[in-house]
Chain A
Amino acid sequence: MIRIEPPMIVANEPARRPSVLHIFKVYYPDLFGGTLTVIRDICASLKDTFNAAVLVCSRSGGERQIVVNDVAVERVHSFGDVLSLPAAPTYPWRLWRRIAEHDLLALHAPFPLADLVFAFGLGRSRPLVVHWHADIVSHAALRFLVEPMMRRTLRRAAAIIVSDPVLIETTPLLQEFSDKCHAVPFGVDVAKYDRPAAQADDVNARGRLVLACGRLVPYKGFDVLVRAAHARNFEVWIVGEGRERDNLEQLIRDYGLQDRVRLLGSVSESERVKLMRIADVFVMPSVTNAETFGLVQLEAMAASRPIVNTALDTGVPHVARDGLEAITVPPGDAAALADAIETLINDPERRRRMGQAARHRATAKYSTTAFKEGVETVYRKVVAEQAATKDASSSAPGLHPQMAGPVGAIRIAAALAWSDMRHRYVRSLLGPFWMSIQMAIMVAVLGSVIGHLSNSGAMARLPMLAASLTAWTFLNSVVLDATTALQGSASLIKDRALPPVIFLLQCTFRQALFAAHNAVVPLLLWLALTPRDFAGAMVALPGLVLFVACTMALSLVLGALATRYRDIKPVIESSLTLAFLASPIIWTSEMVDRGSTVMRLNPLTHLFAIWRDPLATGHVAMGSLVYVLACLAALAVAATITIAHLRKAAFWI
């Protein structure tokens, strides 16, 4: 197994900050909202200890890589939302590509598109922390599809961060993994909501302004708030934008509340802070458990506002508690909501008391420092655990980068062969295909000569001639290379302790790459000059595989022999020349007497026949196939013995 470890860090080089990839569906500037505030705050507050990056989807197009608040944000194109999910088909792929670049993954759930990646077991090499923002409440009918994936993600996660301990008890999925859940409440920067000194009294005796904030989506329950305003005398301002806007406007018109209920749309953050300061009551009318915490009510608490919230099974009624900082009403109950608002509107003293209590709780219990430290502790722990397991596994035997057995040897041989091919390009005048040009010239010259020798059409013969020459060049070069390969790599064998078989394999791989260049010539000729019989070409493929296998085995045996006994090399060289002339390579068996004994016994005749016959006639000669298989079996035995003896190759060179 090949393992990648970071290079050794030398003492005087500063340690690198670990990097975190935040995974979510959307980010600034495409949307504003509670979850995004949380991600932004994590990135900003941990910037001294962790390098943050964000991978999200975006509908707006535009730049793929942007920087938001000093954080690199990569945006994957999405074609719009389907079932509250961005339709970004390339997101899982992009996420998978990015995983290796980071030390820690922070998934902001729910986000089934990312679960897809983790459910398939990808990205196991990096630790995962799940920030559990909410359960999937809408589209409950499709839950059976998504839940198994979410469970797999949570099982794989090293830690799960929730905003309130009650979520661990009330969310069935989290109960299964309660041992790795950490409750880290969100924080709010109270100082941002300090009121200017000039504004002395913040509780207005005549006050009747009710504020609510949030995306205009069904679970926020703003329709309940609009209905609650009916037949009462308080004013309602709703900050936020979303797809429910049309419905809400219709509702406001239906109740005739245009003068008292206003939809303010999106406002800037500073504007929102100002609105929080002038409001008299802050309302969070959310109706489903999708509202897990209500970061915006925490902001209102920081601005000393009394809260009206709903009795959900989530952190909402725990952040602002009934009777202390808030009045909690049943979700979806417009009359109870209206009563609670009116109680506060009519009692300035209670508003003041609750507001002070709220501000106190926000300062004491929900500080940004506590949030930062909570998240940082979890991140650090997870990164440290990962580093520890990595250390433990790297000292275990069997996971060494080298000594990876046959696979490792083949990999190294392939890398060396690839480098050899690149070497052919370096400093070449004609570019990569000088080899192909050489082959084309050879085919042209030999083709014209042979055309005169035989009476049949020279043109029709050209594709087969080119293919035969390419194959012969391959076999000839592999064997010749093998005879000198071990001596040429003496230093790698003796100083780097690489197994010698690598360098014999390298010959076959290298010449296969060169043959691929040469093969352009027969391929073009075949396409141009023949009826293009693809079925015959398919039948020829197994024959070609046998041809390559025989060549490889032959090169192993002869390469080792030629290194051990130095007089073998000239013998091989002259034999190859003889074989070239004595085998039907540039001439074909039709040109000579078919009955020739040398022809029939020559293994090369059959080695070429098993793939040339299917190309020419569409079927393979059984006699040749049996002969070749017998040769291959003999060569395989010889190659196995050779590999066993190659341990001693270091003595020979």
Chain B
Amino acid sequence: MVSIHLRDVCLDYPLYGAYDFSLKRRLLGRLFRQASEMRTIRAVDNISIEAKAGVRIGLAGPNGSGKSTLLRLIAGVFPATSGQVEITGNIVPLLGLGAGVNLDFVAADNINLLLRISGRKPTQAILDDIWAFTELEERMQRLPLRMFSSGMLMRVLFATATAFPADILLLDEWLSVVDENFSAKAEQRLRKMVESAAIVVIASHDQGLLRRTCNSIINLDHGRIASSVALDPPVPHHLELREISA
């Protein structure tokens, strides 16, 4: 069963660089009895979240309130300092599209590498499906990504990142593809991916988006849960689409 289970989770983010942690400082500090505690910021403070299949969580809050850190904590990037974290399910973190891309390689090789990075064995059929979604010409598969315009690059990366369904989908801001013709299609695919995932966590500043997509919204402030709102079941899909096209 897919689930996210966080209980009393805290995360202290160490602030390397801002303070002097050097050996000299530590030894002298001890000699001169200076305060030698680690300088940290509590990025996630005592958060408990229970999510079972079907839950779509929106994370709202001002900049620096811990949204992204919480997403990365769920993804397993950061270990919790204290508390319980138990996550079952295949997590697909869509936190940035550009990771792992090599601009000198041709598009097809990049797609294959990105698929391997996410643990999939690339096959011609998968590659063809991804390429069909980008709506780019067949021969461009054999061009290095360096030759692609930023819009075209975005199409390839988006199509690759969203090719497979996820049990747990983590989104840091709704992925936007800045291309008049393509963005509607990308939006639709992302929406479909959100629908097919068992659990979705989206961090966003856009309250409207969160209300449309999620069934519970958690407001974060300084790493704490300031308030959480359970919403009515999401509006039927066709209404959403009308709203977008309007």
A402→B129 CA distance, assembly (Å): 21
8 Å CB contact of B109 from A8, A419, A496, A648: A419
By beta carbon, the residue of chain B nearest A398 is B88
> CB of A2 within 8 A of chain B?
yes
> CB of A494 within 8 A of chain B?
yes
- Point out the residues of chain A lying under 8 angstroms from B165, CB to CB: 5, 8
Interface string of B17-33 (1 = CB under 8 A from A): 00000000000000000
Question: Min CB distance, B11 to chain A, in Å?
Answer: 10
Enumerate B103-148 residues with CB–CB distance to A below 8 Å: 104-105, 109, 113, 116-121, 123, 125-126, 129-130, 132-133, 144
Is A401 within 8 A of B90, CB to CB?
yes
Interface string of A247-282 (1 = CB under 8 A from B): 000000000000000000000000000000000000
A422→B102 CA distance, assembly (Å): 11
Number of contacting residues on A, CB 8 A? Answer: 39
Is B96 within 8 A of A495, CB to CB?
yes
Is B72 within 8 A of A411, CB to CB?
no
Is A402 within 8 A of B118, CB to CB?
yes
A423 in contact with B105 given A5-B165, A400-B89 (CB within 8 Å)? yes
> CB of A415 within 8 A of chain B?
yes
- Point out the residues of chain B lying under 8 angstroms from A495, CB to CB: 93, 95-96, 99
Is B77 within 8 A of A11, CB to CB?
no
A225→B96 CA distance, assembly (Å): 79
Question: Min CB distance, B58 to chain A, in Å?
Answer: 20
Interface string of B67-107 (1 = CB under 8 A from A): 00000100111110000000011110101101110101100
Is A11 within 8 A of B192, CB to CB?
yes
Enumerate A402-448 residues with CB–CB distance to B below 8 Å: 402-404, 408, 411-412, 415-416, 419, 422-423, 426-427
> CB of B162 within 8 A of chain A?
yes
Question: Min CB distance, B134 to chain A, in Å?
Answer: 12
Question: Min CB distance, A62 to chain B, in Å?
Answer: 27
A-B contact count (CB 8 A): 123
> CB of A60 within 8 A of chain B?
no
By beta carbon, the residue of chain B nearest A404 is B119
A497 in contact with B192 given A8-B165, A401-B164, A651-B16 (CB within 8 Å)? no
Most B-side CB within 10 Å, residue of A7, A426, A491 = A7
Is A416 within 8 A of B113, CB to CB?
yes
Is B89 within 8 A of A10, CB to CB?
no
A652→B13 CA distance, assembly (Å): 10
A7 in contact with B88 given A496-B99, A650-B78, A651-B13 (CB within 8 Å)? no
> CB of A4 within 8 A of chain B?
yes
> CB of B188 within 8 A of chain A?
yes
> CB of B211 within 8 A of chain A?
no
Most A-side CB within 10 Å, residue of B91, B113, B119, B126 = B119
A6→B128 CA distance, assembly (Å): 11
> CB of B177 within 8 A of chain A?
no
A597→B198 CA distance, assembly (Å): 65
A7→B126 CA distance, assembly (Å): 6
> CB of A380 within 8 A of chain B?
no
Is A402 within 8 A of B164, CB to CB?
no
- Point out the residues of chain B lying under 8 angstroms from A648, CB to CB: 79
By beta carbon, the residue of chain A nearest B53 is A395
Is A411 within 8 A of B116, CB to CB?
yes
Interface size class of B (residues with CB under 8 A): 35 or more
Is B118 within 8 A of A401, CB to CB?
yes
Is A427 within 8 A of B104, CB to CB?
yes
Is A395 within 8 A of B14, CB to CB?
no
A415 in contact with B13 given A401-B119, A402-B91 (CB within 8 Å)? no
Most A-side CB within 10 Å, residue of B16, B90, B93 = B90
By beta carbon, the residue of chain A nearest B123 is A4
Question: Min CB distance, A4 to chain B, in Å?
Answer: 6
By beta carbon, the residue of chain B nearest A652 is B16
> CB of B193 within 8 A of chain A?
yes
By beta carbon, the residue of chain B nearest A414 is B116
- Point out the residues of chain A lying under 8 angstroms from B118, CB to CB: 401-402, 496
A497 in contact with B120 given A7-B163, A416-B113, A423-B102 (CB within 8 Å)? no
Question: Min CB distance, A500 to chain B, in Å?
Answer: 9
A497→B76 CA distance, assembly (Å): 6
Is A497 within 8 A of B93, CB to CB?
yes
Question: Min CB distance, B92 to chain A, in Å?
Answer: 8
Question: Min CB distance, A126 to chain B, in Å?
Answer: 14
8 Å CB contact of A492 from B99, B120, B188: B99
Enumerate B187-231 residues with CB–CB distance to A below 8 Å: 188-189, 192-193, 196, 198
Is B89 within 8 A of A493, CB to CB?
no
8 Å CB contact of B119 from A397, A402, A647: A402
8 Å CB contact of A496 from B100, B144, B189, B192: B100
A419→B117 CA distance, assembly (Å): 11
> CB of B167 within 8 A of chain A?
yes
By beta carbon, the residue of chain A nearest B97 is A495
Question: Min CB distance, A434 to chain B, in Å?
Answer: 16
Is B72 within 8 A of A650, CB to CB?
yes
A2 in contact with B133 given A403-B90, A426-B104 (CB within 8 Å)? no
Question: Min CB distance, A385 to chain B, in Å?
Answer: 21
8 Å CB contact of A397 from B88, B95, B109, B189: B88
Interface string of A481-495 (1 = CB under 8 A from B): 000000000011111
By beta carbon, the residue of chain A nearest B159 is A7
A8 in contact with B105 given A401-B164, A416-B113, A495-B95 (CB within 8 Å)? no
> CB of B47 within 8 A of chain A?
no
Is A491 within 8 A of B105, CB to CB?
no
8 Å CB contact of A491 from B91, B98, B163: B98
> CB of A146 within 8 A of chain B?
no
A586→B104 CA distance, assembly (Å): 36
By beta carbon, the residue of chain A nearest B170 is A497
Most B-side CB within 10 Å, residue of A11, A400, A403 = A400
Is A4 within 8 A of B120, CB to CB?
yes
Interface string of A229-262 (1 = CB under 8 A from B): 0000000000000000000000000000000000
> CB of A290 within 8 A of chain B?
no
A427→B146 CA distance, assembly (Å): 12
8 Å CB contact of B75 from A408, A411, A497: A497
Question: Min CB distance, B89 to chain A, in Å?
Answer: 7
By beta carbon, the residue of chain B nearest A401 is B119
A-B contact pairs, 16 of them (CB 8 A): A6-B126, A7-B126, A7-B129, A8-B189, A11-B188, A400-B167, A401-B120, A402-B90, A412-B116, A419-B102, A419-B109, A492-B99, A495-B96, A496-B93, A497-B91, A651-B14
Nearest 10 A/B pairs, CB to CB: A495-B96, A400-B90, A401-B119, A415-B116, A491-B99, A497-B75, A495-B95, A7-B129, A7-B163, A402-B119
User: With contacts A11-B192, A400-B119, A494-B96 known, what are 9 further pairs, Cβ within 8 A?
Assistant: A5-B165, A10-B189, A402-B91, A403-B91, A423-B105, A495-B93, A496-B96, A496-B99, A498-B117
